[in-house]
Structure 1
Amino acid sequence: MTLHINFYRLRQLVAVVILAWATASGWAAEPFAVKDIRVEGLQRVESGTIFASLPFRVGEIYNDEKGAAAIRALFGLGLFKDVRLEIQDDVLVVIVEERPTVSGVEFAGLKEFDKDVLAKALKEIGLSEGRPYDKALTDKAEQELKRQYINRSLYGSEVITTVTPIERNRVRLTFTVTEGGPAKIKQIRVTGNKAFDEGTLRDLFNLDTGGWLSWYTKSDRYSRTKLNADLESLRSYYLSRGYLEFRIDSTQVAISPDKQEISVTINITEGERFVVSDIQLQGNYLGKEEEFKTLVKMKPGQPYNSETVTETSKAFTDYFGRFGYAFARIEPRPVIDRLNNRVSFVLQAEPSRRAYVRRILVAGNNRTRDEVIRRQFRQLESAWYDGDKIKLSRDRVDRLGYFTDVNIETQEVAGTLDQVDLTITVMEKPTGSVSLGAGYSSAEKVTLTFGIQQDNAFGSGNYLGIQVNTSRYNRAFVLSTTDPFFTTEGVSRTLDIFQRTTRPYLIDLNSYNLVNTGGGVRFGLPIGERDTVFVGVNYEQTTINPGTNLPNTYIDFAQKFGYTSNSVPLTLGWARDGRDSALVPTNGQLQRFNADVSVAGDVRYVRASYQFQQYIPITKKYTFAFNTDLGYGQGLSGRPYPIFKNFYVGGLGSVRGFEQSTLGPSDTLNSIYLGGSKKIVFNTELNAPFPGAGNDRTLRMFAFTDVGRAFGEHETVTVKELRASMGIGLSWISPMGPLRFSYALPVRKQSMDKIQQLQFQIGTSF
């Protein structure tokens, strides 16, 4: 047992004990009226602080009980090392010795931690510049530093505290750290397993014994938090495969004498594998037993699965919530037949009472207006409690992107049996950003980007953004603002002003370019909870700046409509996004449809595109993805389809292994690729963890196949003209932005195609 001694508290206790002993021994002072109070020994502390802490004033009667109380109060301020009371001719003299003041806190030898972060943490426990020096707090800070290093597997780290006295009763604190090297996991053992081999079980863990990428993943650094998560993964693995009585008996973590190697041993008892034999419903199911039976996830004859039991209980609770039963209780009772390794379940239901929602309260929104949150709610006040609507409301608020955390709590209303209040608590995050960045791709070369955006301008929920792109081939300036609730029904309105300059992918920077300038307004109409329909109108002006290498098709178009042409396209779009993540999706579906119809101006056309993505989780680590991207354009009113509205195929984002935008019609004289009025692209990907990266979702590798091509207005879409490639790639959500790297082998090509097997892109989303 370790004995920790707080000398400051000990001195205070001794002082009070001596005073009490003196009183009991006849040394007690006779009570008297205090003529005056004098304070001695002050340096920085104001005398008013002393007088305010004394339990008596001038003219009042002093006795030993009040004297003891005075000493306790002055010591309790934490400002003094010593306090004494003396009596001189009915004058009370308070003699104090101030504790030193901390003049500064310094750190030496830090590598793992930032000094400012540690200084802030010490300030929160009361140890900072200008505060009284407290040995107990210094010891506490030292132990906290050691604990932080242990959390990062630096078990050999040492912390030495140096207290340096300086003038004017001050001290300087210096924490000198010897970090040493991190302790690494040398061995992970699982004992007691029979049904599954040890390698299979170890693959479930995020912790491992290291690999060539451990410097990045740090998966070989022991952490109790990570180990607990891995143990839960192990438990879930067994419980979802029939092992009802599985248990983890013990976990031993051993560290080597030099504190550089760690061994982890997990002892388990699998138990027998059980099969579900029967499911029975008991209790009050509101006369809807048949409906509840359809929600049962467990199936007789299948192995016991704890996940399906949990899903069934939740489905039952949510279904009761649809009818206003906010306090429904579902108790799955297993009846175990160990002789035959079978288990039956009795689902006992008690709906309790039906409830109304009296009030919906909003908390935690210091910046965002209440109405921005409330208008996302589908559960209304003074209406039946509806679990589905409440969950939907929470998800809608979370999808705003303004908050790091969103929770809804249900509280019973005191004095009533059928009313509840809902409190939605949010934790706000910064929603504005100023970005200045650079990127490089094999096609675009160096690009600079600048952007200012505010997703929640002035707490109103409106979006305001400016984007600038200095790409070599695609320059852009876009000003956009969106009011997501332009009407009370949830219709959004977006206003755009833009100027985009594009040039062909040629080395000659004096070649022709296209300048597209305009603006527009677009409205988004919510159709259901996942679907949105967009309608709008734009005004666009397109200028062809001849330069060099101008294709004949552009010259022909300019002779008919001029080098500057105007159009007024109406826009129609639809989107449905059911993916589980925008950056690293592993499940769900995305669909987009957009159409532009130019009804006025020099050019008349229709241009439509459709994209379909499907993500299918094969296992926890592997995901299969499928993408289809189709485009079609046609001239209207007897006018040709404008060539500057063509689709382009080839390179990253379409068919990898071919140079960017080269799969389609071309001007052979100038070697310029013109794109086409039609495009077809098919992609498949199999995503897997990068070797050595464990389950890190930000670093993945993939195998892919791509098929596609753009077709001219007068070309017939044929399968034999499609190009195809296959290869492998790497995706990394890096600190500088998403990165895509691919190596492709064209498997279906023609002699004139431009091949580019190695392609990469940094700094843009995908």
Structure 2
Amino acid sequence: MQKQFNRFKLRTVSAIAAGLLMAHSAWAVDPFTVRDIRVEGLQRVEPGTIFASLPFRVGETYNDDKGSTAIRALFGLGLFKDVRLEVSGDVLVVIVEERPTVADVSFVGAKEFDKDVLKKALREIGLADGQPFDKALADKAEQELKRQYINKSMYGAEVITTVTPIERNRVNLTFNVVEGDIAKIKEIRIVGNKAFSESTLRNLFDLDTGGWMSWYTKSDRYSRAKLNADIETLRSYYLSRGYLEFKVDSTQVAISPDKQDVSITLNVTEGERFVVSGVKLEGNYIGKEEEFKTLVTIKPGEAYNADTVAATTKAFSDYFGTFGFAFARVEAVPEIDRVNNRVAFVLQAEPSRRAYVRRINIAGNNRTRDEVVRREFRQFESSWYDGDKIRLSRDRVDRLGFFTDVGVDTQDVTGTPDQVDLTVNVVEKPTGNLQLGAGFSSAEKLSLSFGIKQENVFGSGNYLGVEVNTSKLNRQLVLSTVDPYFTADGISRALDVYMRTSRPYTGQESLTTTQSLDYALKTTGASLRFGIPFTETDTVYFGGGYERLTIEPGINPLPSTYQAYANQFGYTSDAIPLTVGWTRDNRDSALVPTKGRYQRVFGDWSPAGDARYVRGNYQIQQYIPLNKQYTVALNGEIGWGRGLDQRPFPVFKNFSSGGLGSVRGFQQGSLGPRDAADLALGGPKKITLNAELIAPFPGTGNDRTLRMFAFFDAGNVFGENDPYKLSDLRASVGLGVSWISPVGPLRIGIANPIRKKVGDRIERFQFQIGTSF
């Protein structure tokens, strides 16, 4: 009777009872064969979800262990607040209470963060519309949101989570945020310094107490990561000036009671200043000790400098890397003489084992295809590790101009001591440029302009550009495309198709609209060019094209220069220019270069057609880093042209000078010879010289996206029969600002001509979106 009574009595098993069941408590149920399983309490969850989680089926034997396992499995689904098992005869009843479902997640008062971004972040952790509500996840989200506000120096931010039940077992989840004001750094103190003033040391920091550009740099907002970086900068400053034993003893960050002000105090110990007494090499230098000695930059007799020590050990490691020793260990061991404040260094080296690269991974290229990066790599997979090739590869990827940052990390391959993996980490930048414009003037009436330039179209690495301008003075339609890898060997192909109509304007306000628009120059043509890379930094270009020039006279006589050309060749003339060129580029970056050189030679020759001429141009740019913040940029350009077969040089092929890209402070293209109507003609000879000192913008610290520069420009163009004369060069000086904007590098300059002549057209304020010079 007792056994029969146990079989038929109702038994409730909860999550706590599951543990009692496992302990074989007095509530234990004798094993029996399950005739049926019934589920009660379901609202949204499918019964199949329950049955799939049970460790038994109809017809199988039920026991206490299986009941405990079933309860744990059902709770593990995260769908239920409560789970019970009841036994009624041979029928097992599973009774569940579902968690409420999240109907909506909203944020009230959150202005610092985009609400869609916050919702996406919550969705990734399982807190979203239609998901079961989990109080633990809601608490976690609340704490994370507070942490994010603290990271933005908003220490007074309060977050309160409100759960509102609604019909059909659902809840609305609301995060009520009181952001408060941003806490600003009120004070930064350095205690214990003797060799350098506190103000000198504070100027090294990116964090500060605020200035007129703090709205852009946010340098007065406390960040632990930024403070750690500033501490490292401080340490580097001392270590590079002889203070071998400098250390930061403690860091205190105090927040005012109203959570609006932050005070930072650093306690430092400078130690004594040490001088290097000697350097010697120990270890295995693979028989190339003399080569390694040439890489030593540590100078005996000079103050200890951690930068030169680090540079030497890095140079050693890199040199080992050129022979495949990716795991070479190089250590500079100091031998300190504290009595005389002198230190000697022993450079110990162990090349370890040679390694080869197993795999090259690309990370951060959300838009750019992998192949665009991989084809620039000169270090190949399954090849010996080569440090020089890896650095060259990194520079080639950076010079693409598609990324704001490029880095290469090396990882060991677990279980394979002679292999490494390389990961190329890139940060993409916008490579498209969309221009829309409209203008109205008494001369041109309504004019519309449209341009789209994509340097990395569809992530393929190809260039595509379309330009349209409806201006009456300068109408044009230009289609350009460049495939940098037309062949697998890296031969590039460029195709240009264009139609241009220009109506030269003298710039004299006294001229009427009819006089200024009474003739036109129409140019229609196409060209095809190929580029062949001969070395890693040298490329030779060649191509050809066809061009037709049409001179359309107006009511008034043509300018004498154009009339003379029309009398000799007719109002319609053809040219078949053949082009050849060469470039060498070893700059460290195409976007913000700080070191390296760029050279370009371009020539075109038209041996047939009505216009026959030869023209050449040479340009060189040099970037010289003075230190981490300051760079000197130099640019020089010279051009020359000449007519062939007793024909004059075509006036429409003249070089121009003045304005952006040549001599700032003068109107665009206004320098050089002029005709009787005071129309600037340009010339077949050109000289341009530019120099810039690039520095951080005041208040932005080491930010490279916003910088300022001082410049000196000189240049001019000359007639075909005029000699190059330095005395005829125009010159200007000025200041400018460069900003890496979302649509490209933006440069604004204010120039003052310091060498000019009567009749020169001055334009002191100019700006451009494009390249540096």
> Do the aligned partners of 1:431 and 1:455 also contact (CA within 8 Å) in 2?
no
Q: Return closer, same or farther for 1:303/1:358 CA change in 2, 3 Å cut-off.
A: closer
Contact (CA 8 Å) 1:502, 1:515: kept in 2 or not? yes
Instruction: Give the counterpart of 2:659 among 632, 647, 651.
Output: 651
TM-aligned CA deviation for residue 304 of structure 1: 1.5
Q: Among 742, 749, 757, which residue is 1:742 paired with? A: 749
Counterpart of 1:5?
none
State TM-score, norm by structure 2.
0.89
Question: How many angstroms apart in 2 are the aligned matches of 1:34 and 1:275?
Answer: 87
> Secondary structure at 2:522's aligned position in 1?
strand
Name the structure 2 match of 1:299: 299
1:437 to 1:309, Cα distance in 2 relative to 1, 3 A: farther
1:83 aligns to 2:83 (yes or no)? yes
- The total of aligned residue pairs comes to 746
Moved more, 574-583 or 111-120: 574-583
1:624 aligns with 2:624: no
- Note if 1:536 corresponds to 2:535: no
Amino acid in the other structure paired with 1:84: R
Matches within 5 A, 1:346-745: 346-355=346-355, 357=356, 360=359, 375-379=375-379, 384-397=384-397, 399-400=399-400, 407=408, 409=410, 411=412, 420=419, 422-423=421-422, 433=432, 435-438=434-437, 448-451=449-452, 453=454, 455=456, 463-470=462-469, 472=471, 474-505=474-505, 506=507, 508=513, 510-547=517-554, 550-669=558-677, 671-735=678-742, 737-745=744-752
Go from structure 1 to structure 2 and tell me whether the alpha carbon gap of 1:252 and 1:369 turns closer, same or farther (over 3 Å shift).
Answer: closer
Match of 2:265 in 1: 265
C-alpha distance after superposition, 1:88-139 (max 9, x if no partner): 1221111111110001111122221111111111111111111000111111
**What SS does the aligned partner of 1:720 have?**
helix
Go from structure 1 to structure 2 and tell me whether the alpha carbon gap of 1:192 and 1:743 turns closer, same or farther (over 3 Å shift): same
Aligned partner of residue 142 in structure 2, secondary structure = helix
The alignment status of 1:158 with 2:158, answered yes or no, reads yes
- What does residue 4 of structure 2 align with? none
What secondary structure is seen at the aligned counterpart in 2 of 1:72? helix
Residue equivalent to 2:10? none
CA distance in 1, matches of 2:77, 2:524: 70
Q: Please give the secondary structure, in 2, of the residue aligned with 1:731.
A: strand
Supply the distance in 1 between the matched residues of 2:560 and 2:114 (Cα, whole angstroms). Answer: 62
Amino acid at match of 1:543: T
| Correspondence 1:135 to 2:135 | yes
**Structure 1, 15-24 or 637-646: larger mean CA deviation:** 15-24
Give the alignment of 1:88-107 within 5 angstroms: 88-107=88-107
> Structure 1 stretch 214-223 or stretch 724-733: which is displaced more?
724-733
Distance between the aligned counterparts of 2:217 and 2:415, measured in 1? 51
Task: Measure, in 2, the Cα distance between the counterparts of 1:84 and 1:50.
Answer: 12
Task: Describe the SS at the equivalent of 1:168.
Answer: coil
Decide whether aligned partners of structure 1 residues 590 and 599 sit closer, same or farther in structure 2, where only a CA change above 3 A counts.
same
Distance 1:413 1:214 in 2: 46
The corresponding residue for 2:3 is none
TM-aligned CA deviation for residue 83 of structure 1: 1.0
CA distance in 1, matches of 2:440, 2:272: 56
Look up the SS of the partner of 2:234 in the other structure.
helix
Alpha carbon RMSD of aligned pairs, Å? Answer: 3.1
Aligned to 1:186: 186
Aligned position for 1:760? 767
Structure 1 residues 52 and 427: CA distance shift in structure 2, 3 A: farther
Q: Given that residues 313 and 332 in structure 2 are in contact (C-alpha distance below 8 angstroms), is that contact kept between their aligned partners in structure 1?
A: yes
1:53 shift after superposition: 1.0
Asked whether the 8 Å contact 2:401–2:591 carries over to 1, the reply is no
Query: Structure 1's 737 and 387: CA in aligned 2 closer, same or farther, altered over 3 A?
Result: closer
* CA–CA distance in structure 2, aligned partners of residues 75 and 501 of structure 1: 77
1:276 is paired with a residue of what secondary structure? strand
1:462/1:482 contact within 8 Å kept: no
Per-residue deviation, residues 485-514 of structure 1 (Å, max 9, x unmatched): 444543323232223344435474725333
| Partners of 2:325 and 2:573 in 1: CA distance | 63
Matched residues in 2 for 1:398 and 1:584: separation? Answer: 10
Decide whether aligned partners of structure 1 residues 586 and 315 sit closer, same or farther in structure 2, where only a CA change above 3 A counts.
closer
- The answer to whether the aligner puts 1:20 opposite 2:28 as a matched pair is no
Counterpart secondary structure, 2:587: coil
What is the distance in 2 between the residues matched to 1:475 and 1:234? Answer: 57
Query: Residues 535 and 240 from structure 1, CA distance in 2 versus in 1: closer, same or farther, beyond 3 angstroms?
Result: same
Question: Distance between the aligned counterparts of 1:139 and 1:173, measured in 2?
Answer: 11
Cα distance in 2 for partners of 1:519, 1:249 equals 69
Alignment of 1:208-287 (within 5 A): 208-287=208-287
Letter in 2 for 1:523: F
Q: Which moved more, 1:225-234 or 1:609-618?
A: 609-618
SS where residue 666 of structure 1 aligns?
Answer: coil
* Distance of aligned partners of 1:446 and 1:302 in 2 relative to their CA distance in 1, 3 Å threshold: farther
**1 CA distance for matches of 2:532 and 2:90?**
86
Q: For residues 64-75 of structure 1, what are the structure 2 equivalents within 5 Å?
A: 64-75=64-75
- CA offset at residue 308 of structure 1? 1.7
Q: Kindly provide the CA deviation profile for residues 18-58 of structure 1, in whole angstroms up to 9, marking residues without a partner as x.
A: 34347654222222222211111100000111111111211
Amino acid of the residue matched to residue 601 of structure 1?
G
Q: Which amino acid aligns with 1:619?
A: N
For the 8 Å contact 2:491–2:533, the answer to whether it is kept is: yes
Match of 1:11 in 2: none
Local SS of the residue matching 2:68: helix
| 481-490 vs 220-229, which moves further | 481-490
CA contact (8 A) 1:709 1:723 kept: yes
Evaluate the alpha carbon distance shift between residue 549 and residue 700 of structure 1 in structure 2; reply closer, same or farther with a 3 A threshold: farther
Q: 3-state DSSP class of the match of 1:174?
A: strand
Judged with a 3 Å threshold, the aligned counterparts in structure 2 of structure 1 residues 354 and 169 are, in CA distance, closer, same or farther, namely closer
Asked whether the equivalents of residues 441 and 762 of structure 1 are also in contact (C-alpha less than 8 Å), the reply is no
- Residue pair 2:357, 2:384 contacting (<8 A) in 1 also: no
Unmatched tracts of structure 1, length 5 or more = 1-13
**1:193–1:545 Cα change, 3 Å:** farther
Q: Give per-residue Cα distances to partners, 1:652-711, cap 9 Å, x unaligned.
A: 222222222111111242x32111111222222223333333333233333222222211
Report the Cα distance in structure 2 between the residues aligned to 1:672 and 1:738, rounded to whole angstroms.
32
Is the Cα–Cα contact under 8 Å of residues 532 and 574 in structure 1 kept in the other structure? Answer: yes
Deviation of 1:390 (Å): 3.5
| One-letter amino acid of the counterpart of residue 632, structure 1 | W
Where does structure 2 lack aligned partners over 5 or more consecutive residues? 1-12
Shift of 1:66: 1.7
Distance 1:745 1:426 in 2: 43
Secondary structure of 2:295's partner?
coil
Q: TM-score of the superposition, structure 1-length normalised?
A: 0.90
**Paired-residue identity, %:** 63
- The letter of the residue matching 1:64 is D
8 Å CA contact 2:399, 2:590 repeated in 1: no
| Separation of aligned partners in 1, 2:256 and 2:569 | 81
In 1, Cα distance between equivalents of 2:160 and 2:370? 51
Amino acid at match of 2:50: I
Paired amino acid for 1:20: G
Between the aligned partners of 1:181 and 1:410, the Cα distance in structure 2 is 44
1:282, CA displacement in angstroms?
Answer: 1.0
Distance change in 2, residues 1:761/1:292 (3 Å): closer
Change (3 A) 1:149 1:479: same
Q: Do the aligned residues in 1 keep the contact of 2:400 with 2:590 (CA within 8 Å)?
A: no
C-alpha separation in 2, matches of 1:90 and 1:328: 72
